[in-house]
Amino acid sequence: MDDSETQKQVILGFRKAFKSAPWIPISQMQAHSFRERPLKGSILVSKLKIPCPAGEEEEALRSRLWDVYKATSEGVEKLDPPAPCISYNGEWIGVRKDVKDLKAPQPDISDQEKFQSIQQNVDNDMTIFYLAGGAFFRAGPPGARPVIKQLAEMSGSCAFTFQPRLAPQYTIPTILLDVLVAYFYLQAPPVGSFHQPINPKNIILVGESGGSLLHLHLLQFLRAIIRSSGGKTPVIHLNGQHIPISMPAGCALVSPGSDLVLSLPSVKKFEKFEWLSEGAPWLKPNYPADQIWPTIPPRGDLHCDNSALCHPLIDPSMQLDWSGMPPMWITCGEETYADGIKFLVKNIQASGVPVTFVQYEFMPHVWNVILPHLPQSRDTMKRWGQAIREIGLDRQKESSANFVKLGKLEVFPMSFEGLLDIPQAEVLQRMRTARDRLAEFVWTGPEAGSSKL
């Protein structure tokens, strides 16, 4: 499949199938995403429970996160404060190097023994903290396991993932709170946990789509706490432990949705082959309602009120200063969010942060996840795994930007200055103008008799 026309037809065929599929209520899609898949072959999954943080510790973490949201607000956003924490389901994922049978079942051993086996099959001390995408309303771990397994295998690392709460039942501040609890769980495990405390310098943030956004929000929170400490090492209290706050080793992200208000040229430019185009179906007048969508009271999108779409802890492309952040590897296609991602990448590079950016011609949003057999997807997975390993070895010191062509995947360098030829002030104005227009919209359910379902 190394000729460009065949690759284009695969992309266009997927888009056509997606666009013609019947619309399913949000609650049904959400429930479907939780279904278990058979665990066969060399993958090894150790399941665990992350306990709910204790009362005062939980309240303090929730308060600090809410303070960061308020401090970075423009004053026009309707934001929900983070809801109280709960307990969470997590997973360690790794590879059994001695298993070659693709149909081999999981071994009949305890989850702790599975974790120990995972640790015996890694060749470095790095931990992948993986967050899956899915527009914040789909479950992560069941469907994301094959991708996580590949990254663990390619990087030689073990991987950790968990299930945060989902939209539309909860909004982004609460979902990010869940991510913080999981991140600090890695560093300060309660008594009885499978793993020993992990130094943040041995943690790499990895994700796609919405999971990428949550990791960028996590970095913003960490930096806000560090900067507010007056030069001292800030501390978080969780699981009965004092956790010094510092940055992780870096991050490796695919298609971090940026320009969520859809104000930049890539929205229309790539519409003909991007499956994630023409707006979210759940905002259409004839989308079927259910018990969780529209919300009570109704709002403009699943994960937040539309007035908050330009908050930097909702859309990270609104954050201009990324100084003090760890190295980053970011890839995208010629997708709806491409210009927003380029704007984000330009600001990261201009802030002095080493960033490797790779863009793939004609590829839609998260192409490597939805079409894993494309040559571009295999190439992406290889680069992604290598990036994780390079960040773990502290080898990513310089910034670079490259464009991967259709067909035989020829690679051409790009300049950061030329990634987006719209001035920064104009980009911000476009985004805020689009936000103010969208802020007037709430989704209240389908028009009578017009449901596509």
Can you tell me the distance from the alpha carbon of 32 to that of 331, in angstroms, rounded to the nearest whole number? 28
- Place 259 in a pLDDT band, splitting at 50, 70 and 90: very high
- Is the CB of residue 365 less than 8 Å from the CB of residue 335? yes
Q: Is the pTM of this model over 0.85?
A: yes
Can you tell me the distance from the alpha carbon of 266 to that of 338, in angstroms, rounded to the nearest whole number? 6
Burial class (CB in 10 A: 0-12, 13-18, 19+), 51: middle
Average pLDDT of the segment spanning 140-152:
96
Q: Indicate if the pLDDT at residue 449 is higher than 80.
A: no
Q: Which residue has the tokens 């279904």?
A: 35
- What would the pLDDT profile of 164-215 be if each residue is shown by its tens digit? 999 999 999 999 999 999 999 999 999 999 999 999 999 999 999 999 999 9
Can you tell me the distance from the alpha carbon of 413 to that of 426, in angstroms, rounded to the nearest whole number? 26
All structural domains of the chain with their residue ranges: 4-438
- Is the CB of residue 206 less than 8 Å from the CB of residue 253? yes
- Place 450 in a pLDDT band, splitting at 50, 70 and 90: very low
Q: Which residue has the tokens 């609104």?
A: 318
Q: Which residue in 104, 214, 119, 240 sits closest to 162, CA to CA?
A: 214
Q: Which residue has the tokens 């982004």?
A: 172
Chain CA centroid to CA 324, Å? 21
> How many of the other CB atoms lie within 10 Å of CB of 266?
22
Q: Which of 62-76, 333-347, 405-419, 437-451 shows the lowest mean pLDDT across its residues?
A: 437-451
Can you tell me the distance from the alpha carbon of 403 to that of 197, in angstroms, rounded to the nearest whole number? 39
- Is the CB of residue 25 less than 8 Å from the CB of residue 453? yes
- Is the CB of residue 453 less than 8 Å from the CB of residue 288? yes
Q: Which residue in 258, 279, 269 sits closest to 341, CA to CA?
A: 258
Topology classification of domain 4-438 = Rossmann fold (3.40.50)
